[in-house]
């Protein structure tokens, strides 16, 4: 049994919560960089992590009060850092929440309370990124595979070297058994093009859809600030950043020349580190409250950096539904109208 499997077997929510509390300030700086330290507290607006003062996180134990506890004085919500991370990563299944927290901490959750951590969080993060790079390197092109069938079943016809397929990715099930499941792999990269992780979409070989498991979509490695990229994004003046992989590729199917960055979730869309060379950032949000908040945070940051932000909102819940229910012609026409309504000179629309 390998080391990663052993670690997942021993995951304990209480130990993980204590591990996060011992690193409260590092945790806040990593996951909520828009906040700021004031005395013994990390201040931010709310669970989204935006700038503000309503929510405070206690950084060190003091006067019998434990480190890692937080309170939102406006909403009255409170909890520990594991609760705060759950809000930050929503939607996320509880087992996947524990895994991501454990990935951040390294081996700390399984070390007794009276022993120091043997692996700093940064080292653990680098190790997970290396595992993600290795997994992606094992994949093969998606042409004529289950992965291509899955994407085409969602109406998607925009692919690229960021995608790969593996017929038997190891997965530890909730009952502790080890399974091998086919998966669509996607390389997560930073602005230098370095692979920092690997997204895994586990598939059902019989139906061609998502595997019937809890949390069939998972990430291995570092996603925060990074994205799955398509097209010539290194030299583009217009970059389109979206949430889920399928939704971003739905727009890419309608706009085959668009440079794309899929951030996978609303929270990670808000935290996306865009290339400073771009002139315009097109933000493709989902049609819900989380998408609206993420688009607003990203747009505000881009504007402060001198980059013009433009927000694209689907007619339905997301752009993949617009594609599958409305068809590619309708989606292409609507996107063209939205884009030319906001700016006439751009590199998104195919000639």
DSSP string covering 99-122: HHHHHHHTTGGGS-TTS--SS-HH
Which residues form the domain of 40? Answer: 3-119
Q: Of 193, 213, 233, at which residue does a domain stop?
A: 213
Beta pairing, strands 178-189 & 195-202:
antiparallel
Number of domains in the chain: 3
CATH number of the domain enclosing 143? 3.10.450
**pTM of whole model > 0.75?**
no
Do 303 and 284 fall within a single domain? yes
Can you give the pLDDT at residue 94?
Answer: 83
Can you give the pLDDT at residue 114?
Answer: 32
pLDDT in tens, 294-349: 999 999 999 999 999 999 999 999 999 999 999 999 999 999 999 888 876 666 65
| Inside any domain, residue 311 | yes
Tell me how far apart the 2 most distant CA atoms of the chain are, in Å: 66
pLDDT in tens, 241-255: 999 999 999 999 999
| Inside any domain, residue 218 | no
Q: Helices (H), strands (E): how many in the chain?
A: 12, 14
CATH number of the domain enclosing 251? 3.40.1360.10
pLDDT in tens, 33-71: 889 988 889 999 888 888 888 899 999 988 788 899 998
Can you give the pLDDT at residue 2?
Answer: 38
Give the single-character DSSP code of 350. -
Do 302 and 198 fall within a single domain? no
What is the token pair recorded at 106? 């390294």
Residue 143: phi, psi to the nearest 5?
-55, 130
Give the Cβ contact number of residue 180 at 10 Å.
11
For the chain, give the percent of residues with pLDDT over 90.
Answer: 54
| Inside any domain, residue 24 | yes
| Inside any domain, residue 14 | yes
Query: What radius of gyration, in Å, describes the C-alpha atoms of the chain?
Result: 21
- CA dist 308 and 293 (Å) reads 18
CATH number of the domain enclosing 38? 3.90.580
Cβ proximity of 48 and 293 under 8 Å: yes
- CA dist 186 and 246 (Å) reads 11
Do 351 and 244 fall within a single domain? yes
Q: Where do runs of H (alpha helix) occur along the chain? A: 3-9, 13-22, 24-31, 81-89, 94-105, 121-137, 146-153, 245-254, 266-270, 289-304, 319-326, 328-342
| Inside any domain, residue 219 | no
Cβ proximity of 127 and 134 under 8 Å: no
Res. 118: pLDDT tops 60: no
């Amino acid at each position: 049994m390998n080391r990663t499997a052993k670690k997942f077997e021993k995951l304990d929510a209480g130990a993980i919560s204590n591990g996060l509390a011992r690193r409260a300030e590092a945790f806040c700086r990593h996951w909520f960089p828009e906040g700021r330290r004031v005395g013994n507290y990390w201040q931010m607006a709310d669970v989204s992590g935006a700038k503000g003062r309503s929510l405070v996180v206690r950084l060190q134990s003091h006067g019998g009060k434990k480190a890692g506890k937080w309170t939102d004085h406006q909403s009255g919500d409170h909890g520990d850092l594991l609760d705060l991370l759950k809000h930050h990563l929503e939607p996320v299944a509880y087992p996947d929440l524990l895994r991501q927290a454990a990935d951040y901490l390294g081996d700390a959750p399984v070390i007794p309370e009276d022993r120091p951590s043997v692996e700093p969080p940064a080292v653990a993060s680098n190790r997970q990124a290396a595992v993600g790079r290795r997994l992606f390197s094992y994949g093969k092109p998606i042409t004529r595979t289950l992965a291509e069938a899955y994407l085409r079943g969602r109406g998607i016809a925009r692919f690229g070297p960021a995608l790969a397929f593996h017929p038997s990715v190891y997965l530890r099930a909730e009952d502790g058994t080890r399974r091998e499941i086919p998966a669509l792999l996607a390389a997560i990269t930073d602005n230098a093009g370095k692979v920092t992780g690997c997204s895994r979409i586990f598939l059902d070989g019989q139906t061609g859809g998502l595997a019937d498991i809890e949390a069939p979509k998972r990430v291995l490695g570092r996603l925060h600030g990074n994205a799955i990229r398509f097209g010539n994004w290194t030299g583009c003046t217009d970059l389109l950043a979206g949430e889920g992989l399928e939704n971003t590729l739905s727009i890419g199917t309608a706009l085959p020349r668009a440079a794309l960055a899929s951030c996978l979730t609303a929270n990670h869309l808000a935290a996306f580190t865009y290339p400073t060379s771009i002139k315009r950032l097109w933000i493709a949000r989902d049609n819900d409250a989380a998408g609206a908040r993420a688009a607003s945070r990203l747009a505000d940051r881009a504007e402060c950096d001198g980059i013009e932000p433009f927000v694209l909102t689907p007619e339905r819940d997301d752009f993949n539904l617009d594609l599958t229910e409305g068809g590619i012609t309708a989606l292409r026409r609507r996107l063209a109208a939205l884009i030319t309504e906001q700016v006439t000179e751009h590199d998104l629309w195919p000639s």
